[in-house]
A and B are shown apart, each in its own frame.
Chain A
Amino acid sequence: MSDYLLEMKGIVKAFNGVPALNGIDIQIKPGECVGLCGENGAGKSTLMKVLSAVYPYGTWDGEILWDGQPLRSQSIAETEAAGIVIIHQELTLVPDLSVAENIFMGHELTLPGGRMNYPAMMHRAEALMRELKVPDMNVALPVSQYGGGYQQLVEIAKALNKQARLLILDEPSSALTRSEIEVLLEIIRGLKAKGVASVYISHKLDEVAAICDTIAVIRDGKHIATTAMADMDTGRIITQMVGREMSNLYPREPHDVGEVLFEARHITCYDVDNPSRKRVDDVSFSLRRGEILGIAGLVGAGRTELVSALFGAYPGRHEGEIWLAGQVIDTRTPLKSIRAGLCMVPEDRKRQGIVPDLGVGQNITLAVLDSYARLTRVDAEAELGSIQHEIARMQLKTATPFLPITSLSGGNQQKAVLAKMLLTRPRVLILDEPTRGVDVGAKYEIYKLMGALAAEGVSIIMVSSELAEVLGVSDRVLVIGEGQLRGDFVNQGLTQEQLLTAALGQPQGPEHSDRKSA
């Protein structure tokens, strides 16, 4: 008997002859938390799909030992029965069903005749929530009533209910606020103590460093190293991930900040479903030419609502005045904003950014397609010319401009969406979470690009949940809390603590953040 819960030996998986995984070895002991690190496209997700039998046994080479026995699962149901549960980056909850119903999805407790045994399920769901230290959650309410952080907890409760012995968390914190992440990490520690092993996949290396016992790094489908966290630091993880030294995560290009170019005055947004509730409450700010303005705040504070209202993409009622270069501009629709010189790269790349059925190139030129039109026909040559120019400028990695955009990694998709907006030659560029789900290398390139744009005189508004990123990139930082402007800081000697304190609001303590936790 080995003391490993799981051993993956020499895993090789190829797609149409192209290897995505090339001999990966991972061992996990009971109660161990392994951080799986690698750039986007390195093969992390593929490896986890092999483990959870999304790719059934036989479609890959190598061996998986579970409790010392070979595991040859044909389906996710089999791996779940064995105790391997994966929580995907995109949550798989049904928003309109209750918390309890979601927890028991597929494993419902029943009464004779196939009727749902609601009392038993509620009872068990409440017990699980107590275990996860969120006893105030009403398990009878629809999941949609709770924010992203809570939904993540429901996913974990769902996994625990399946008697998980190994929990795979794929980017669990990408939609969570800082305090929610703390709760999540605390829960994982609690699970560790109970002997539940976990695989933690995240681009946020400080979390990985905080929670993991061992770090396994893969790059280009190859296993680079497995090291005890005690012998590592985030710098060394990054070095292993990218295969080169990356001394500075945030390149700072010196750029001049000019006169006031853009002003938002008294922006107020009302909730779509509840028009009496203000999501953004009378926010005014200005922006100088060539300035990078970071907007920080907790998730749900109203940052995305604010910037979508500026761009004319906010679905509900909103009011306010927007000035560009001394004139009021009409930004009631994205089309009008873009014409006026105001652009936005939205938060949710999959839903709002890419057009999946078009190729990489056609995605890039989508916003400016008319400029290639001769009478009615699109001048394919001119179009291809600017596509190739943008691909080169962005260092976008694609074999040809005709590949489907969905075949690219997250970072490269983001670069394509950015290129699309830059082709419209904006004077003010709004970036909402520009590096979400983007690997370290592509992040660095996006920061560099932002610096270069600012140096050209483009003003940039960047919304980000990563405080380190906000501090690393911005010239000035606005803090939004509960829809209100809570702070306006020049980024000199500014600390994460200062931003967080402002975001939470001085009079209230952390328990009054947008989470409902106690």
Chain B
Amino acid sequence: MISVKQLFTRYKMLALLIAVVLIWLFFSWQTEGGFLTPRNLSNLLRQMSITGILACGMVLVIISGEIDLSVGSMLGLLGGVAAILDVIYHVPLPLNLSIVALCGLLIGLGNGYLTAYLRIPSFIVGLGGMLAFRGVLLGITGGTTIAPVSPSLVYIGQGYLSPLAGVVLGVLLFGLTLFLTWRQRLNRARHGLAAHALARDLLRVLFIGLVLAGFVYTLNSYDGIPVPVLLLLTLLGVFSYVTSQTVFGRRIYAVGSNMEATRLSGINVQAVKLWIFGIMGVMCAFAGLVNTARLAAGSPSAGNMGELDAIAACFIGGTSMRGGSGTVYGALLGALVISSLDNGMSMLDVDSYWQMIVKGSILVLAVWVDVSTRAGRR
């Protein structure tokens, strides 16, 4: 007998997808279809990209058993640096991107060093960074908005791919899905493992194909695929690959699950944590650039509370609070849930205090569902 609870436990992501669909249907009904227009969905995905980029890094941090509270301020700081370099020093875009990414990496590594080598709890390092980075940002901007940024930088946040490029991308992704599914079946067969039923795999490929087609069609019927969304998709691919296929990825899970056993297995757990924080820093740089580009300005309040959205996205997406388990796509689905709530409630002109109450409640609810289904597995 398969109860609903067991189904949710086994297909947690399915449950999350259903939640997203329900949220969308609700808002669509409330806005008389306004929510599900291509224009709004495009907007929603662009809004989501910043939280999503942060969540990509944050999920690694949380899997490894740590937390980083400084990402919102770091995002603001790095976005501010990008704006200053662009507006005041007219640094060309590629150089600007490199400098900001490098700064992000260095700050992240600094956080990682404090946590992994000096053994300051990451919660405290993050809390300190949250204040300090915001302070630096206020200092270097003088508390004012830095504007207007150059069109080339704006493109990162507000640009769109041409419809043709969108279609090509969609086809390529579908091809990749086919290839990966085929290879998985082949591998399972070679190792004498029972392959999934052909019907199941076909259904899955078909489903992914439909989602991709819908995705490209919807966005193309507005202005095309937004550049930040493309960036997010790329990151999703890269991070999924890193967590599931690489040595480093496996070590992230091992460190988060049992650090002592991992250390005694001859793994440099401190270095693993150092680099996780380094990656988090680079993600802050990307998110900061996109944010500055989206606003076309460097704002001293940019990224305020960004860390909370990113952390909430990870937890809604099923990342374990004790570390050791979680997925990148789960975290991105979590980010989609949060952004959908933000976007929908704004469309409905819900007071901002209500928005906060609803988001907070959803986070607690999601984690409760997660915890209760986990307990059922024991």
Assess A351 versus B266: contact at CB under 8 Å? Given A378-B246, A381-B187, A381-B191: no
In the assembled complex, A356 has its CB within 8 A of some CB on chain B: yes
- Closest residue on chain A to residue B194 by CB atoms: A400
A380→B261 CA distance, assembly (Å): 22
Residues on the B chain within 8 Å of A334, using CB: 263-266
Main SS at interface, chain A: helix
Among A362, A367, A373, A377, contact of B266 (Cβ-Cβ < 8 Å) = A367
Interface bracket on A: 35 or more
Which residues 181-196 of B have a CB within 8 angstroms of A? 187, 190-191, 193
A20→B87 CA distance, assembly (Å): 71
In the assembled complex, A369 has its CB within 8 A of some CB on chain B: yes
Residues on the B chain within 8 Å of A370, using CB: 247
- Closest residue on chain B to residue A404 by CB atoms: B377
In the assembled complex, B344 has its CB within 8 A of some CB on chain A: no
Among A313, A357, A378, A380, contact of B264 (Cβ-Cβ < 8 Å) = A313
A357→B318 CA distance, assembly (Å): 14
In the assembled complex, B208 has its CB within 8 A of some CB on chain A: no
Q: Report the number of A-B residue pairs with Cβ-Cβ less than 8 Å.
A: 86
- Closest residue on chain A to residue B325 by CB atoms: A357
In the assembled complex, A338 has its CB within 8 A of some CB on chain B: yes
Interface string of B342-370 (1 = CB under 8 A from A): 00000000000000000000000000000
Q: Which of B167-175, B252-260, B297-305 contacts A (4 or more CB under 8 A)?
A: B252-260
- Closest residue on chain A to residue B258 by CB atoms: A355
Among A335, A357, A373, A377, contact of B257 (Cβ-Cβ < 8 Å) = A357
Residues on the B chain within 8 Å of A380, using CB: 187
Residues on the A chain within 8 Å of B213, using CB: none
Q: Determine how close the nearest CB of chain A comes to the CB of B134; give it in whole angstroms.
A: 35
In the assembled complex, B251 has its CB within 8 A of some CB on chain A: yes
Among A351, A373, A378, chain B packs the most CB atoms within 10 A around the CB of A378
A380→B184 CA distance, assembly (Å): 11
Which residues 308-356 of A have a CB within 8 angstroms of B? 311, 313, 333-335, 337-339, 344, 346, 351-356
In the assembled complex, B221 has its CB within 8 A of some CB on chain A: no
9 closest Cβ pairs, A-B complex: A357-B324, A357-B257, A338-B266, A367-B265, A335-B266, A355-B258, A355-B257, A366-B265, A376-B246
Q: B245, A378: Cβ atoms under 8 Å?
A: yes
Q: A355, B246: Cβ atoms under 8 Å?
A: no
Residues on the A chain within 8 Å of B324, using CB: 355-357
Q: B266, A339: Cβ atoms under 8 Å?
A: yes
Residues on the A chain within 8 Å of B251, using CB: 369
Assess A378 versus B258: contact at CB under 8 Å? Given A335-B266, A352-B264, A357-B325: no
Among B191, B245, B261, B268, chain A packs the most CB atoms within 10 A around the CB of B261
Q: Determine how close the nearest CB of chain B comes to the CB of A291; give it in whole angstroms.
A: 24
**A contacts, CB < 8 Å to B:** 311, 313, 333-335, 337-339, 344, 346, 351-358, 362, 366-367, 369-370, 372-373, 376-378, 380-381, 384, 400, 420-421, 424
Assess A358 versus B267: contact at CB under 8 Å? Given A370-B247, A377-B245: no
Q: B250, A378: Cβ atoms under 8 Å?
A: yes
Residues on the A chain within 8 Å of B266, using CB: 334-335, 337-339, 367, 424
Q: Determine how close the nearest CB of chain B comes to the CB of A414; give it in whole angstroms.
A: 13
Q: A355, B261: Cβ atoms under 8 Å?
A: yes
Q: Determine how close the nearest CB of chain B comes to the CB of A514; give it in whole angstroms.
A: 24
Interface string of B300-336 (1 = CB under 8 A from A): 0000000000000000000010001100000000000
Interface size on B, residues (CB 8 A): 28
Residues on the B chain within 8 Å of A384, using CB: 191
Please name 6 further chain A to chain B contacts, defined as beta carbons within 8 Å, in addition to the given A334-B263, A362-B250, A384-B191, sorted by A numbering: A352-B260, A352-B264, A357-B320, A366-B250, A376-B247, A378-B245
Residues on the B chain within 8 Å of A376, using CB: 242, 245-248
A366→B187 CA distance, assembly (Å): 21
Among B193, B247, B260, B320, contact of A373 (Cβ-Cβ < 8 Å) = B247
A421→B256 CA distance, assembly (Å): 20
In the assembled complex, B373 has its CB within 8 A of some CB on chain A: no
Among B190, B193, B261, B320, contact of A352 (Cβ-Cβ < 8 Å) = B261
Q: Determine how close the nearest CB of chain B comes to the CB of A477; give it in whole angstroms.
A: 25
Q: A354, B261: Cβ atoms under 8 Å?
A: yes
Q: Determine how close the nearest CB of chain B comes to the CB of A343; give it in whole angstroms.
A: 8
A40→B246 CA distance, assembly (Å): 35
Q: A377, B246: Cβ atoms under 8 Å?
A: yes
A334→B248 CA distance, assembly (Å): 18
Q: A354, B258: Cβ atoms under 8 Å?
A: yes
In the assembled complex, B141 has its CB within 8 A of some CB on chain A: no
A112→B254 CA distance, assembly (Å): 50
Residues on the A chain within 8 Å of B264, using CB: 311, 313, 334, 344, 346, 352-353
Assess A366 versus B253: contact at CB under 8 Å? Given A373-B246, A373-B247, A384-B191: no
